[in-house]
């Protein structure tokens, strides 16, 4: 059997094998790539973690003690926030950046996304044959490792450009360790802070396990694989949906055992877990999670669509955090997300994009503004939720929901430097308000994001990406989707 196979490396170094290669040779190459691991693939030259003093900005720290500082200064050095305050002394060697007309705030925390599918953007059509899930499931098996790389790179680059500094990335098109390594390469190249959740493929059946040996291997070599990048690992779990939860005295179904083993493997390795509880199957999934004793602080629920007050109470008491992604929940018809109900029920809530492709944009400004509108509209109350509360959910509360608030989510000395600077000198902005939170939620767009630091690296400056060639990222993803479509066309 011969076929055209691209061996994924890096765009500048990738080799393309066409025809003639035997399956044996290909699998040997695949093993070689696995053995080399992601650490040997070239990473982009990200800027060094620098020494910066931002002077004279409006700083929204999202820190309870510091609050907001007008005309504030922020010192970032070697990846960390060193000091925030007024009239800071210029530290030796620091580059001074003007904060005039700028709002400085913590980078946004996207608590749920699927970066791998970004190049499917715009492909979900107007007929029952071309709706989101059907289209995605047709295209997903056409992915080769380079496509996983291209989708993840485009998605992560767009996130950074929009002011998202952390993402929780649920990878559920795992077609082999070469794909996993390709995603990690892309994340390393962009510099995004990311918790990468290792999952099955879209085509994995309930009785087939995901590659748990691969997960264990990845976990063991993680520190070497990621080098100095701010990446961590989790489990993208299917959950026990559709699999009969056993009652005492009844035989355990094979599918249930598979789901349970996956869950227990993550727990044993100390990996956080994400599970979808969404759409028309949400209630069935949630019931199975409760019956199987699968809830907990380390088990994040995605969407939890149309949950009742009683269900919210159970999840809150179990400590499971929630990610809400209104752009996709509305777009795909899960219903109108009732943010206020989950907050009132005491759940820890973070906001998310949930696929740049389905949401259309990786844009936390739009996510916040959408929730402002939904809450006011459904409750017929202009005061239903404040922009300040939405900003909290997009930053510090999002970080808290995924257990990372000790490192990120607010601007405070000692935290990692995940910081964005929004330029108010734009036609859609202006510093007109007493509380700039209103501007950020109601007016700002990704194009207003002037600068982005992730882990102290300045990845966007003056509105431009510093390390990535934006045109190359887009054209690489465009070539990728063209190939995926031609591979999967029947
Ligand atoms: Zn999702």
> pLDDT tens for residues 312-365?
999 999 999 999 999 999 999 999 999 999 999 999 999 999 999 999 999 999
Q: Was domain 51-107+410-465 assigned CATH 1.10.3720.10?
A: no
What spacing in Å lies between the alpha carbon of 163 and ligand 1's midpoint?
A: 20
Question: Does residue 19 have a pLDDT over 50?
Answer: no
What spacing in Å lies between the alpha carbon of 243 and ligand 1's midpoint?
A: 20
Question: Does residue 15 have a pLDDT over 90?
Answer: no
Helix (H, G, I), strand (E, B) or coil at 285: helix
What spacing in Å lies between the alpha carbon of 113 and ligand 1's midpoint?
A: 6
CA 45-50-56 angle, 5° bins = 130
What spacing in Å lies between the alpha carbon of 170 and ligand 1's midpoint?
A: 7
Report whether 10 contacts 42 (CB < 8 A): yes
What spacing in Å lies between the alpha carbon of 236 and ligand 1's midpoint?
A: 10
Average pLDDT rounded to a whole number, residues 29-45: 44
Query: What local confidence, expressed as pLDDT, does residue 2 receive?
Result: 37
Report whether 57 contacts 74 (CB < 8 A): yes
Q: Where are the alpha helices (DSSP H) in 140-196?
A: 145-161, 177-190
Instruction: Indicate the Cα dihedral angle 180, 182, 187, 188, nearest 10°.
Output: 110
Percent of the chain with pLDDT over 70: 89
Q: Where are the beta strands (DSSP E) in 243-365?
A: 273-277, 299-303, 322-324, 349-351
Three-state SS sequence of 320-373: CCEEECHHHHHHCCCCCCCHHHHHHCCCCEEECCCCHHHHCCCCHHHHHHHHHH
Average pLDDT rounded to a whole number, residues 105-127: 96
327: which residues sit within 8 A by CB, 6+ positions away?
Answer: 353, 354, 358, 359, 360, 361, 366, 367, 370
Helix (H, G, I), strand (E, B) or coil at 409: coil
What spacing in Å lies between the alpha carbon of 302 and ligand 1's midpoint?
A: 6
What spacing in Å lies between the alpha carbon of 114 and ligand 1's midpoint?
A: 6
Residue with the larger pLDDT of the pair 341 and 26: 341
Residue with the larger pLDDT of the pair 248 and 334: 334
Percent of the chain with pLDDT over 90: 83
Average pLDDT rounded to a whole number, residues 118-127: 94
Report the range of poorest mean pLDDT among 11-20, 280-289, 322-331: 11-20
Query: What local confidence, expressed as pLDDT, does residue 99 receive?
Result: 97
Query: What local confidence, expressed as pLDDT, does residue 271 receive?
Result: 98
Distance CA 390, CA 392 (A): 5
Residues with CB under 5 Å of ion ligand 1 are 302, 354
What spacing in Å lies between the alpha carbon of 45 and ligand 1's midpoint?
A: 31
Query: What local confidence, expressed as pLDDT, does residue 44 receive?
Result: 63
Nearest of 481, 407, 440, 428 to residue 162 by alpha carbon: 440
Query: What local confidence, expressed as pLDDT, does residue 250 receive?
Result: 61
Query: What local confidence, expressed as pLDDT, does residue 14 receive?
Result: 37
What spacing in Å lies between the alpha carbon of 300 and ligand 1's midpoint?
A: 11
Average pLDDT score over the chain: 90
Q: What is the DSSP letter of 11?
A: T
Query: What local confidence, expressed as pLDDT, does residue 20 receive?
Result: 33
Q: Read off the tokens for 254.
A: 């094979």
Query: What local confidence, expressed as pLDDT, does residue 43 receive?
Result: 53
> pLDDT tens for residues 300-321?
999 999 999 999 999 999 999 9
Phi, psi at 110, each rounded to 5°: -90, 105
Report whether 239 contacts 278 (CB < 8 A): no
What spacing in Å lies between the alpha carbon of 375 and ligand 1's midpoint?
A: 22
Query: What local confidence, expressed as pLDDT, does residue 437 receive?
Result: 96
CATH 3.20.20.140 residue window(s) in the chain: 108-401
What spacing in Å lies between the alpha carbon of 152 and ligand 1's midpoint?
A: 15
Report the range of poorest mean pLDDT among 199-203, 255-259, 312-316, 406-410: 255-259
Report whether 241 contacts 206 (CB < 8 A): no
Q: Is 406 exposed, middle or buried (0-12, 13-18, 19+ CB in 10 A)?
A: exposed
pLDDT band at 240 (very low <50, low <70, confident <90, very high): confident
Residue with the larger pLDDT of the pair 220 and 125: 220
What spacing in Å lies between the alpha carbon of 410 and ligand 1's midpoint?
A: 25
Query: What local confidence, expressed as pLDDT, does residue 7 receive?
Result: 40
What spacing in Å lies between the alpha carbon of 80 and ligand 1's midpoint?
A: 31
Query: What local confidence, expressed as pLDDT, does residue 262 receive?
Result: 96
DSSP for 194-230, written as a single string: EEEEE---TT--TTSPP-HHHHHHHHHTHHHHHTTS-
What spacing in Å lies between the alpha carbon of 20 and ligand 1's midpoint?
A: 39
Average pLDDT rounded to a whole number, residues 50-64: 97
Average pLDDT rounded to a whole number, residues 96-117: 98
What spacing in Å lies between the alpha carbon of 205 and ligand 1's midpoint?
A: 18
Q: Is 141 exposed, middle or buried (0-12, 13-18, 19+ CB in 10 A)?
A: middle
Distance CA 162, CA 68 (A): 22
Average pLDDT rounded to a whole number, residues 106-112: 98
Question: Does residue 29 have a pLDDT over 60?
Answer: no
What spacing in Å lies between the alpha carbon of 354 and ligand 1's midpoint?
A: 5
CATH number of 108-401: 3.20.20.140
Distance CA 261, CA 410 (A): 37
Question: Does residue 142 have a pLDDT over 60?
Answer: yes
CATH 2.30.40.10 residue window(s) in the chain: 51-107+410-465
What is the reported pTM? 0.90
What spacing in Å lies between the alpha carbon of 157 and ligand 1's midpoint?
A: 19
Average pLDDT rounded to a whole number, residues 361-386: 97
Report the range of poorest mean pLDDT among 65-74, 202-211, 382-391, 406-415: 202-211
């Amino acid at each position: 059997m011969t076929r055209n196979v691209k061996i994924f490396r890096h765009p500048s170094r990738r080799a393309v094998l066409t025809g003639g290669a035997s399956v044996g040779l290909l699998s040997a190459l695949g093993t070689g790539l696995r053995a080399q691991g992601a650490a040997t693939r070239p990473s982009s030259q990200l800027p060094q973690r620098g020494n910066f003093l931002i002077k004279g900005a409006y700083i929204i720290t999202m820190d309870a003690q510091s609050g907001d500082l007008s005309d504030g200064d922020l010192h970032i050095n070697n990846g960390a926030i060193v000091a925030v305050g007024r009239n800071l002394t210029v530290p030796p060697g620091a580059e001074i950046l003007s904060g005039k007309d700028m709002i400085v705030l913590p980078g946004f925390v996207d608590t749920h996304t699927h970066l791998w599918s970004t190049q499917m953007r715009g492909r979900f059509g107007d007929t029952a044959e071309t709706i989101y899930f059907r289209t995605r499931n047709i295209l997903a098996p056409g992915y080769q490792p380079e496509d996983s790389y291209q989708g993840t790179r485009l998605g992560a680059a767009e996130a950074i450009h929009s002011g998202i500094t952390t993402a929780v990335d649920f990878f559920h098109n795992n077609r082999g360790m070469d794909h996993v390594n390709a995603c990690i390469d892309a994340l390393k190249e962009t510099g995004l802070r990311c918790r990468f959740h290792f999952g099955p493929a879209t085509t994995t059946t309930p009785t087939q396990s995901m590659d748990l040996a691969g997960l264990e291997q990845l976990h063991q070599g993680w520190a070497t694989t990621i080098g100095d990048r701010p990446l961590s690992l989790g489990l993208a779990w299917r959950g026990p949906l559709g699999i009969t939860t056993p009652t005492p005295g009844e035989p355990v179904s094979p599918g249930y055992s598979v789901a349970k083993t996956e869950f227990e493997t993550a727990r044993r390795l100390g990996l956080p877990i994400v599970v979808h509880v969404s759409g028309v199957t949400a209630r069935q999934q949630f019931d199975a999670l409760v019956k199987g004793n699968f809830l907990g602080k380390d088990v994040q629920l995605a969407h939890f669509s149309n949950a009742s007050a009683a269900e919210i109470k159970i999840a809150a008491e179990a400590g499971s955090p929630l990610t809400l992604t209104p752009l996709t929940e509305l777009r795909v018809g899960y219903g109108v997300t009732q943010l206020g109900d989950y907050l009132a029920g005491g759940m820890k809530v973070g906001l998310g994009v949930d696929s740049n492709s389905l949401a259309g944009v990786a844009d936390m400004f739009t996510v916040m503004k959408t929730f402002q509108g939904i809450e006011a509209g459904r409750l017929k109350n202009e005061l239903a939720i404040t922009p300040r509360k939405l900003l909290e959910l997009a930053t510090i509360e999002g970080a808290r929901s995924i257990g990372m608030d000790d490192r990120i989510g607010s601007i405070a000395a000692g935290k990692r430097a995940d910081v964005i600077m929004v330029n108010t000198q734009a036609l859609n902005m202006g510093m007109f308000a007493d509380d700039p939170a209103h501007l950020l939620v109601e007016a700002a767009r990704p194009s207003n994001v002037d600068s982005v630091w992730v882990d102290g690296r300045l990845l966007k400056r003056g509105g431009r990406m510093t390390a990535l060639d934006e045109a190359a990222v887009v054209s690489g993803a465009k070539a990728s989707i063209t190939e995926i479509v031609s591979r999967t066309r029947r």
